[in-house]
Structure 1
Amino acid sequence: MSFIFFLGVIFFKSSGQSTFTPMNGDYLHYIERYEIKSGKLSDKFYSNVKPIGRKDLVELSLNLEKDSLSRLSSVDLFNLMYLQNDSWEWLADNSPNGLSEAKAIQNNTRKPFLKYFLQKKSDFYYHHNEDFDIHISPILHFAYGNDNLTNNAPYTNTRGIEIRGMLNKKLGFYSMFTENQIAYPAYVRDYARLYDGFPYEGFTKVMNSDSTRLVADFFSARGYITFNVLKNLTFQFGHDKNFIGSGIRSMILSDFSAPYLHLKAITQVGRFQYINIFAQAINKQVPVAADGTEQRPPKYFTFHHLSANITKNLNIGLFETIVFGQRKIGFDINYLNPVIFYRYVEGNLGSVDNSIVGMDFKYNFLRSFSLYGQLVLDEFNLKHFKQKGWWATKYSTQIGARYIDALGIRNLDLQAEYNLARPYTYSHNSTYSNYVNYNMPLAHPLGSNFKEFLFIARYQPLNRLTFTYNLMLAKHGEDAGAINWGGNIQRNYNLMRPGEYNNFIGQGNTANIQLMDIGASYMLGHNLFIDASFTNRKLQYVNTSQTINNRVLSLGVRWNIGKRQLLF
């Protein structure tokens, strides 16, 4: 606690600090697309570590507009204006001769509501001066649909508020709160029953939880502060999420679980970026007292990620993480060392904590293409690796590619990705050490014991209209009865394991998953969208020939919130 207090004191010496961009599909796509079009990797932010600062994304958009080689379409110019409007407070600091001020004015509305509200297209209310900057906007998401496998139609009812800003241009702050009632599609309900939790969320009350009717009632909240203690050292503290990588999935650290309390330190010097995360997750697998007198026990993880722009187009990153349970004093202070190799600390303590290491890379070229990938080693022994299918040869990999303005068609972007994880990867012999937060995986939604191919096509023919096509083909080895085949990472890998050797991806109750999602979104106003989508998910069990077809049609409207990604 004294360490955190120390950080809370020294921020008063910090310089101007931005909050982070939203973690939604549109923003993630814009970050990757416009970095590719820029022709080089940025030294101001590292897109393999998300979210990134709003200030940095505004600077990228302004530089891209001045780049004659970027071949921007009218739709691109509209998207860049959208990004600038969404973070307009940073425009004046990123362009000379008042040009940015003119851009900020373009975000003004013609007729504010009651004089003080909706003065800007991007903010319901704002106040901006040298000492204090605040932006307040409502969050709304209403959707209704049809599901062939449920008695009650899927729907979404979300209301909330988002607040962000700066104090004295030194302390950035962000807070988001929503109240939700959601009836998920049948396949998501089955997932929630199996893992006792909902994707992306933490504590959830369940209404009408019989076999076909399952409605989730829950609060969502995120909140953090950001500050610089040195020119090249930024801190973030609060409840939030992180995503490592450039893919549709992250095999290293994704945003699929609930927000978690963490302190993140970002050190950036030239071509190098170094990330430290000290996090407290929640172990929901441990039962609490029925009378509610006990709180859910915490678990912890620490994370290092060193990233370097080897050339202007090639980035390589190395990472390590340790997941461990609560000590007598809470967080193990041995893991607070920001520069030591964690595996040494874990071994020196004689602990049985879960140690995971690996790497990632990205290579952008020809202002049109990007290759990326990840390798995660959970456990590796060369002696046993030579023997077929040793259970503890635990690793996962990813390889993917992007092609923007594909086939010469402007604003048609294609992405293909292949992921796999060996059985028992990310699992451990203790619920305090598996790679799980609030019963949801910290990496891939399928956990482990799977192979997966993903394809996404995104086409934006008009400024405000976007079509998407998502395809997922996967083979997942689910656990059969009491036997642990290595698909559910919540389970103890030492219990009910079938054998030491001859383990393979897809073993157990083999499930073939085919999911196709077609969607369209139209932007009525800034961050106000109408969405329509059709999802067809086919689940086929090889051993029993059982087939389940889930077809979901949905129509909705959302304001200041991204779409929930249910691609699993």
Structure 2
Amino acid sequence: MFKKCITPVFVLVCLGISLSSTVRAQSIGRQYSLGFYKSTSDSNGYHSSQRDYSIEPTFDLPKGDTTRKQSWLYRKLFREHLLEVKGDDFNFYGSILPDLIVGHSGDNGTVWVNTRGFVIGGTIGKNLTFRSEFYENQAKMPAYLDAYGRENRIVPGQGEWKAFKGDKFDYAYASALINYKAGKHFDFQLGYDKNFIGDGYRSMLLSDAAFNYPFLKIIANVGKVQYTTMWAQFIDMQYPKASYDNGYRKKWGVFNYLDWNISKKISVGLFEAVIWQDSDSTGKRGFDASYLNPIVFLRPVEFSVGSPDNAILGLNAKYAISNNSTFYGQFILDEFKLDQITGGKGWWGNKYGGQFGFRSNDLFKVKNLNFLTEVNAARPYTYSQRSTLNNYGHYNQPLAHPMGANFVEWVNIADFRYKRIFLRGQVTIAKYGLDTAGVNYGKDINKSYFTRTVDYGNHIGQGLKTNFLYVQGTAAYLLNPKYNLRLEASVTARKESNNSWDKKELIFQFGLRSAFRQLYYDL
């Protein structure tokens, strides 16, 4: 079987504080609009596949929408953060972040979300940036999200919930990041947040769909090459809590990503990740110092210590056909045997997946009209392992695609902004195979691959063949571009059908919303 290769490591025990700056033409972590993206590569250190969470996202309002001669109240409601303090070598900001939604679900009646949040952030000197967010939530979810939450004990991307007034959820969410720029070539990040690698809507390598986690990241920029190393700690909710004092079982991860802007049109990124359990049958293992060196090749290290760790390799590539349009793709390799692939017998251990997509900003030369279409797929049992203590997951969700494995998906998204009006449409079609009659067909990465029933004849869609359709339309009026305060209305249609059921749900929602969080409810 395929084992590990490159990888570095260092420990982390964090609680960071997120960050901020002003929007440059960067690929922003909290990506509310497809427009927060730049297609072409250049020689100034811009790497589109590494979303930069150290940048504060904000919408640029058109010229003429000015703050001159406006009252303090107007500026605070429609132009600025609630609190802004600027000094000679520092700045600080803070805002209240409401997310108040009410709507109707055909299957669950009246649905609503009551979120009270806040954000604080700023800069100290020229090199230190910080940002922190907190949200307290109560919600009555649409039927499919309610069912997902009860089965997995989490709200997607937002962690564990507790019961609230019977059939409702109560949950909290915090994120934080500190970024320190050490000279021209290095950035150091300490955070409790998410990460994303790729040029698309989904990532088959590392996505921001799962809950936040603590990490330490080092980013080095040398010419047209960017090299990133990250060490992180994840939570395994599948096992009972070790004790009241220790909480859920832990596992560790180390990630390497080397991105090379070969030219203004072509960039290629090489990815590696290793996951290992915090404790095993011999007792507490903790952070493995063998993975401390950020530029070490992992395979020799792993072999020398007889490691049972889980390694994943990947490739990210992009070809920019113009300043605004890009073809992109990914390939993820979990395990394989070459003779089994060439044999074509569908061996279970050939665990791999991929992505191919196209995106364009300012489509047809219409400013702020953005479009994306992509296909994602993963073979059965990809990302799964002997147990959840070293699988590619965190807080009961995959670290890559939220659908796990054994699926093929086609995503189409378009959005458009005119002054303060924002429109967004999404159509997602997918096919996947669900488990049935107690048989593990390879979609759920939290199930051990030892529970499979056959070694050969495995293919995408095996099991209970299921068709998935997700259609959503959103219209919003932007009130404050600093923290994306907006009035928003949406309609969502979701259908999941197979030989055993035909689930349909139509959801209407309206609310006052804020923040740039990317929450994936299209599952």
- Provide TM-score, normalisation by structure 2: 0.89
In the alignment, what sits opposite 1:295? Answer: 247
Q: Larger relative CO (CA 8 A, sep 6+): 1 or 2?
A: 2
2:333 to 346, 357, 377: 377
- 2:237 corresponds to 1:284: yes
Question: What amino acid sits opposite 2:487 in the alignment?
Answer: I
Q: How does 1:5-16 map to 2 (within 5 A)?
A: none
Question: What amino acid sits opposite 1:514 in the alignment?
Answer: L
C-alpha contact 1:109 1:120 (8 A) present in aligned 2 = no
In the alignment, what sits opposite 1:45? Answer: 46
Q: 1:370 to 1:338 in 2, by over 3 A?
A: same
Q: How does 1:126-525 map to 2 (within 5 A)?
A: 126-151=84-109, 153-207=110-164, 213=167, 215-288=168-241, 292-327=244-279, 328-387=284-343, 388-407=345-364, 409-460=366-417, 462-495=418-451, 497-525=452-480
Separation of aligned partners in 2, 1:516 and 1:355: 35
Separation of aligned partners in 1, 2:258 and 2:518: 31
3-state SS in 2 of match to 1:287:
coil
C-alpha contact 2:406 2:443 (8 A) present in aligned 1 = yes
Following superposition, the deviation at residue 408 of structure 1 comes to 5.2
Separation of aligned partners in 2, 1:411 and 1:334: 48
Following superposition, the deviation at residue 260 of structure 1 comes to 0.4
1:26 to 8, 15, 32: 32
Separation of aligned partners in 2, 1:488 and 1:208: 31
Show CA shifts across 1:421-475 (max 9, x none). Answer: 0000000002111111111111111100001111112233x21112211011101
3-state SS in 2 of match to 1:26:
coil
Q: 1:171 to 1:24 in 2, by over 3 A?
A: closer
3-state SS in 1 of match to 2:35:
helix
Q: 1:206 to 1:41 in 2, by over 3 A?
A: farther
Separation of aligned partners in 1, 2:130 and 2:322: 38
Separation of aligned partners in 1, 2:50 and 2:177: 17
3-state SS in 1 of match to 2:149:
helix
3-state SS in 2 of match to 1:494:
helix
Separation of aligned partners in 2, 1:331 and 1:107: 52
3-state SS in 2 of match to 1:244:
coil
Aligned length: 501
Separation of aligned partners in 1, 2:78 and 2:102: 30
Following superposition, the deviation at residue 562 of structure 1 comes to 4.2
C-alpha contact 2:14 2:191 (8 A) present in aligned 1 = no
Unpaired stretches in structure 1, ≥5 consecutive residues: 9-15, 59-78, 86-102
Question: What amino acid sits opposite 2:70 in the alignment?
Answer: R
In the alignment, what sits opposite 2:5? Answer: none
Unpaired stretches in structure 2, ≥5 consecutive residues: 1-9
Question: What amino acid sits opposite 2:72 in the alignment?
Answer: P
Q: 1:270 to 1:294 in 2, by over 3 A?
A: closer
Following superposition, the deviation at residue 106 of structure 1 comes to 5.4
Question: What amino acid sits opposite 1:247 in the alignment?
Answer: G
Separation of aligned partners in 2, 1:22 and 1:377: 26
Between 1:325-334 and 1:366-375, the stretch displaced more is 325-334
Separation of aligned partners in 2, 1:244 and 1:264: 13
Show CA shifts across 1:306-359 (max 9, x none). Answer: 000000111100010001111535211111210012233222221111100010
Separation of aligned partners in 2, 1:25 and 1:428: 31
Q: 1:53 to 1:296 in 2, by over 3 A?
A: closer
C-alpha contact 2:12 2:215 (8 A) present in aligned 1 = no
Show CA shifts across 1:223-262 (max 9, x none). Answer: 1211133431110012011011111111111111111000
C-alpha contact 2:54 2:129 (8 A) present in aligned 1 = no
Question: What amino acid sits opposite 2:374 in the alignment?
Answer: E
In the alignment, what sits opposite 2:504? Answer: 549
In the alignment, what sits opposite 2:80? Answer: 122
Separation of aligned partners in 1, 2:350 and 2:310: 14
3-state SS in 1 of match to 2:160:
coil
Separation of aligned partners in 2, 1:352 and 1:538: 40
Greater fraction of residues in strand:
2
Separation of aligned partners in 2, 1:417 and 1:482: 32
Separation of aligned partners in 1, 2:234 and 2:300: 23
Greater fraction of residues in helix:
1
C-alpha contact 1:109 1:121 (8 A) present in aligned 2 = no
Following superposition, the deviation at residue 540 of structure 1 comes to 0.6
C-alpha contact 1:111 1:119 (8 A) present in aligned 2 = no
C-alpha contact 1:107 1:122 (8 A) present in aligned 2 = no
Question: What amino acid sits opposite 1:320 in the alignment?
Answer: E
Q: 1:315 to 1:292 in 2, by over 3 A?
A: same
Separation of aligned partners in 1, 2:142 and 2:72: 39
Separation of aligned partners in 1, 2:497 and 2:307: 41
Between 1:231-240 and 1:189-198, the stretch displaced more is 189-198
3-state SS in 2 of match to 1:345:
helix
Separation of aligned partners in 2, 1:123 and 1:477: 47
Following superposition, the deviation at residue 53 of structure 1 comes to 4.1
Q: 1:206 to 1:411 in 2, by over 3 A?
A: same
Question: What amino acid sits opposite 1:560 in the alignment?
Answer: A
In the alignment, what sits opposite 1:112? Answer: 72
Separation of aligned partners in 2, 1:295 and 1:304: 28
Following superposition, the deviation at residue 218 of structure 1 comes to 1.0
3-state SS in 1 of match to 2:300:
helix
C-alpha contact 2:81 2:94 (8 A) present in aligned 1 = yes
Following superposition, the deviation at residue 54 of structure 1 comes to 2.8
Show CA shifts across 1:477-528 (max 9, x none). Answer: 1111321110100011012x12110001111111110111111111133322
Following superposition, the deviation at residue 119 of structure 1 comes to 9.8
Separation of aligned partners in 2, 1:17 and 1:519: 27
Separation of aligned partners in 2, 1:264 and 1:206: 35
Separation of aligned partners in 2, 1:219 and 1:555: 22
Query: Aligned-residue CA RMSD in angstroms?
Result: 2.9
3-state SS in 1 of match to 2:147:
helix
